[in-house]
Chain A
Amino acid sequence: MSVDAATVKKIASLARIAITDEEVAKIAPELDNILGWIEQLGEVDCTGVEPMTAVIANTLRLRDDVVTDGGKRDAVLANAPQAEHGFFTVPKVIE
């Protein structure tokens, strides 16, 4: 398979990264090259092999369902590019 310009534009859109046609022209062959190299994985016989879910056997811990944190509104907003009235603000989304 090969990665063409349309594919790059589609995945850039999925990834929410604005991309120019010049960048597409540069990135398409790079991705094609990398994905071509990655495709050698297809030759490994993985019949009956489970995909790895944890490198070190570990159980997920449970804790009591109680509030352990909170009351940090100002700290949460401290690094926001724009915050008003105790909220994150974004461009208008509803017309």
Chain B
Amino acid sequence: MPPASGSRSALRAFFRWSKPVTDLTDLGVRELRDGIRAGTFSAREVADSFIVAVSKAKQLNAFLVETPDHAVAAAKEADAARAAGETLKPLAGVPIGMKDLFCTKGVQSAAASHILEGFKPEYESTVSQKLWDAGAGMLGKLNMDQFAMGSSNETSYFGNVISPWRRADGGNAPLAPGGSSGGSSASIAARLCPAATGTDTGGSIRQPAAFTGISGIKPTYGRCSRWGIIAFASSLDQAGPMARDVRDCAIMLEAMSGFDAKDSTSLQLDVPKWEAGLNASLAGKRIGIPKEYRVDGMPAEIEALWQQGIDWVKDAGAEVVEVSLPHTKYALPAYYIIAPAEASSNLARYDGVRYGLRDLPEGANLQEMYAATRAAGFGAEVKRRILIGTYVLSAGFYDAYYTQAQKVRTLIARDFDRAWETCDLLLTPTAPSAAFALGEKSADPIAMYLNDVFTVPSSLAGLPAMSVPGGLDKSGLPLGLQVIGKALDEQGVLDACLAIEERAGFRARPEAWW
């Protein structure tokens, strides 16, 4: 093992002496980037280490497609650039994981669905292209909830992702890695990649990050282009990075963000230097604690962690104030109208004609082909949401459901605007529980939906929000804290999470059993 907290020179001496390839997987994005730049190790050694780790971790089912050639090519380019004395790109030689929702040219992009199985896009999503332009390489495509619909990674057509974490009760029950970005969270926690892309529609970056003891940020709606991301609910979908710490998320987010003319909702703004701007002092900041987030039945450990978080931000210099977000309880029902409505519309494109699966029963006409294809190609949760969406948009119900939900959404956004009159950021738990066992909630859709109670309101308002590990529960499972910021204040969110990270000193990691 390398020295746990050694200086860079000690680390360098160690690697020069012994080159223990597998230990490179313990390093994060910044350490890998800086080590490759300094020549402490080569990008090729880094790529090879992670490729081996991925290949050994089949039991986790985190990767749907492995792309070692892609990672090696990026590594070779980084090593050649360094050998030639060139300035290295921001992520030169850093291998990452790519959620299967992102279209990657020539590599299956199926949104973990059957209907898109075998779909190899002829184009590259803007966000993934930006990462490749920054010098990153791809280790593979990451499993997820089918079409990003789920909170436990149990709706993938290609099987559940198993969390690398286990309860300390010796029972070894397979746990959910969270969802929908469950392949991303599991693979980062298991050291199969230092960072990965995620997407967040109602909490799909933050809840899996909390379940697996890593960090993840959903930026302001419009920061990351949605072009080439398989659409779920377009007014909510937003890409963001997941990684082991706050700084690594800042580095990744800088590479992923930026204006894109191909996305009509892309924000035409320069990308801030979030990494350089990191500042863990919260002096002068007012942090709001929304009283409506103290929900009934919240475990005492979550309550205690939240109080601990309050003490940490106070210690970092922040003033803590109580605020009210009165429409919080209506956020989930509004979300479960708006998101399925948009999904039913977006998923109408899967018709068995242009791409993906076609099911053409003997003698079937065109309409029957559509219906058979969609029946065979969509999983149960996806069908459920398409049906809900179709229902709430159907003649006679549109105003009662969809228009009413969009009005409530206005009120939810207004709640946040009022809160910003007395505070700069909000601090809440990320999820109402630690990771649950696979199968524990899958029979009850509403129980599953309630998992997103703390993440959905900020999604509906398009605000930046981040989950950072806070500690472990009594079963030894990670718990996360969430910081929500004003629109475009990713820096404030990252800073507050950094202050929490420094005080939480979260070092726990799952013991390798896979």
Q: How far does the Cβ of B355 sit from chain A's closest Cβ, in whole Å?
A: 4
Apart from A34-B445, A51-B406, A55-B460, list 11 A-B contacts with CB within 8 A: A8-B387, A15-B386, A15-B390, A16-B374, A27-B384, A38-B333, A42-B404, A52-B406, A55-B413, A58-B222, A79-B121
**Does A65 sit at the interface, judged by CB under 8 A?**
no
Q: Does B221 contact A (CB under 8 A)?
A: yes
Contact between B122 and A91 (Cβ–Cβ < 8 Å)? no
Measured between C-beta atoms, what is the minimum distance from B201 to chain A in Å?
12
Per-residue 0/1 for A19-59: is the Cβ within 8 Å of any B Cβ (1 yes, 0 no)? 10000000100110111011111101010011111111010
Among B330, B358, B413, which residue has its beta carbon within 8 angstroms of that of A81? B358
Q: Which residue of A has the minimal Cβ distance to B123? A: A75
Write the residues of chain B forming the contact surface with A, with a CB cutoff of 8 angstroms. Answer: 119-123, 220-222, 235, 261, 264-265, 267-268, 327, 329-330, 333-334, 336-337, 344, 348, 351-358, 360, 364-372, 374-375, 378, 383-384, 386-388, 390-392, 394, 400-401, 403-411, 413, 445-446, 460-462, 487
Residues of A within 8 A of B (CB): 3, 7-8, 11-19, 27, 30-31, 33-35, 37-42, 44, 46, 49-56, 58, 60-61, 63, 72, 75-76, 78-82, 88, 90-93
Return the contact of A30 from the options B411, B413, B445, B462 (Cβ within 8 A).
B445
Contact in complex: A46, B407 (CB < 8 Å): yes
B388 touches A31 (CB 8 A): yes
Whether B367 lies near A16 (C-beta < 8 A) is yes
A11 touches B391 (CB 8 A): yes
Query: How far, in angstroms, from A4 to B173 measured CA to CA in the complex?
Result: 38
Complex Cα gap A75–B329 (Å): 47
Q: How far is the CB of B142 from chain A (nearest CB, A)?
A: 21
Contact between B390 and A11, CB atoms less than 8 A apart: yes
SS class of chain B's interface: helix, strand, loop or mixed?
helix
Chain B min CB distance to A68 (Å): 9
For A27, list chain B residues within 8 Å (CB). Answer: 383-384, 387
Partner of B221, one of A30, A56, A81: A56
Give CA–CA (A51, B474) in the complex, Å.
44
Which A residues touch B374, using CB under 8 A? 15-18
- Bound together, the chains give a CA A42 to CA B408 distance in angstroms of 10
* A92 / chain B contacts, CB cutoff of 8 Å: 365
Chain B residues within 8 Å of A19, by CB = 375
Bound state CA distance, A2 and B112, in angstroms? 33
Taking a contact as CB atoms under 8 Å apart, the answer to whether A50 and B410 are in contact is: yes
Residue of A nearest to B376 (CB): A18
Choice from B384, B411, B461 contacting A44 with Cβ under 8 Å:
B411
Distance of A93 Cα from B371 Cα, bound (Å): 15
Q: How far is the CB of B136 from chain A (nearest CB, A)?
A: 25
Enumerate chain A residues within 8 angstroms of B383, measured Cβ to Cβ.
Answer: 17, 27
Closest-by-CB residue of B relative to A63 is B261
Using Cβ atoms and an 8 Å threshold, which residues of chain B touch A11?
Answer: 387, 390-391, 394
Are B388 and A34 in touch, CB under 8 angstroms? yes
Known: A52-B410, A93-B366. A17 touches B387 (CB 8 A): yes
When C-beta atoms are compared, the residue in chain A nearest to B409 turns out to be A52
Contact A79 B354 (CB under 8 A): yes
Q: What are the residues of chain A within 8 A of B375 when measuring CB–CB? A: 17-19
In the bound assembly, the distance between CA atoms of A61 and B265 in angstroms comes to 9
User: Are B364 and A91 in contact, CB atoms less than 8 angstroms apart?
Assistant: yes
CA distance A61 to B404 in the complex (A): 28
